[in-house]
Chain A
Amino acid sequence: MQRIDPTSTPTQTPTPTPTPAAPNSAALPTPQPSTAAWLSVIPGLGQLYNRRWIKGSIFLALAIVFAIALTAPLANGLHGLVTLGDNPEQDDSRTLLVQGILSAIVTILLAAAYVLNILDARRDAAKRREGFAIPSVRKAFHDSWEHGFPYFIVVPTFLLLTMIVLFPLLFMVCLAFTNYNLYNSPPAHLLDWVGLDNFVSLFTEEVWTRSLLAVMAWTVVWTLLATSLQIALAFFLAMIVNDSRVKFKRFIRTIFILPWAVPSFMTVLVFAAMFNDTFGAFNRDIFSHFGTSIPWLTDPFWARVAIIFVQVWLGFPYVFTLVTGVLQSISKDWYEAADVDGGTRLSKFRYITLPHVLYATAPLLIMQYAYNFNNFNIIYLFNKGGPPVPGQSSGTTDILISWVYNLTFEQNNYKMAAAISIIMGLVVAFFAFYQFRRTRSFREEEMY
Chain B
Amino acid sequence: MRRSLKSKLEVSGIYLVVLIMFCVILYPLLWAISISLNPGTSMFSAKLIPDNWSLEHYKWLFNDPRSDYVLWYKNTLIVAVFNALASVFLVGLTAFAFSRYKFAGRNKSLYAVMLMQIFPVLMGMVAIYLLLNLVGLLDTFAGLIIFYAVGGLPMNVFLVKGYMDTIPRDLDESAKMDGAGHLRILTKILFPLIRPILAVVALFTFMAPFMDFLTPRIILRSPEKFTVALGLFSFINDKFGNNFTIFAAGTILIALPIAIVFLFLQRYLITGLAEGGTKG
Contact = CB atoms under 8 A, between A and B. Distances in A.
B140 to A, nearest CB: 15
13 contacts: A98-B127, A150-B97, A245-B11, A257-B262, A266-B32, A269-B236, A270-B251, A321-B266, A324-B270, A326-B274, A328-B270, A360-B274, A425-B119
A411 B236 CA distance: 22
**Interface bin, chain B:** 35 or more
Contacts of B255: 261-263, 266
B125 A254 contact: no
Interface of A: 94-95, 98-99, 145, 149-151, 153-154, 157-158, 160-161, 163-172, 175, 237, 240-241, 243, 245-246, 252-267, 269-274, 279, 281, 285, 313, 321-322, 324-326, 328-329, 360-361, 363-364, 370, 374, 376-377, 401, 404-405, 408, 414, 421, 424-425, 428-429, 432-433, 436, 441-442, 444-445, 448
Contact of B119 (A160, A165, A322, A364): A165
Contacts, number: 250
Given A150-B103, A246-B11, A257-B263, A274 B31 contact: yes
Contacts of A285: 48
Given A361-B277, A432-B115, A240 B14 contact: yes
A279 B262 CA distance: 33
Contacts of B39: none
Contacts of B263: 254, 257, 261
B120 interface: yes
5 nearest A-B residue pairs (beta carbon): A168-B124, A325-B274, A171-B127, A261-B262, A168-B127
A168 B274 contact: no
Contacts of B28: 267, 270-271, 274, 313
Contact of B123 (A150, A324, A364, A425): A425
A168 B121 CA distance: 8
A408 B125 contact: yes
Interface of chain A, helix or strand or loop or mixed? helix
Contacts of A448: 102
Nearest to B256: A262
A196 B258 CA distance: 47
Contacts of A421: 123
Contacts of B247: 269
Contacts of A414: 126
Given A237-B17, A433-B115, A263 B210 contact: yes
Contacts of A329: 274
B258 A263 contact: yes
B225 interface: no
Interface of B: 7, 10-11, 14-15, 17-18, 21-22, 24-26, 28-29, 31-32, 35, 43-44, 48, 90, 93-94, 96-98, 101-103, 106-107, 109-116, 118-128, 130-131, 134, 146-147, 150-151, 153-154, 162, 165, 182, 207, 210-214, 229, 233, 236, 240-241, 244, 247-248, 251-252, 254-255, 258-259, 262-263, 266, 269-271, 273-275, 277-280
B173 to A, nearest CB: 13
A160 B150 contact: yes
Contacts of A94: 130
Name B's interface SS: helix
A313 B24 contact: yes
Given A149-B101, A154-B109, A273-B43, 20 more contacts: A150-B106, A153-B96, A157-B94, A161-B116, A164-B151, A172-B127, A240-B17, A246-B15, A257-B263, A258-B259, A262-B258, A265-B251, A274-B31, A279-B44, A279-B241, A325-B274, A325-B275, A360-B279, A361-B278, A401-B122
Given A171-B130, A274-B28, A266 B150 contact: no
Contacts of A145: 182
B277 A445 contact: no
A405 B122 contact: yes
Contacts of A363: 277-278, 280
Contacts of B130: 94-95, 98, 171
Contacts of B24: 313
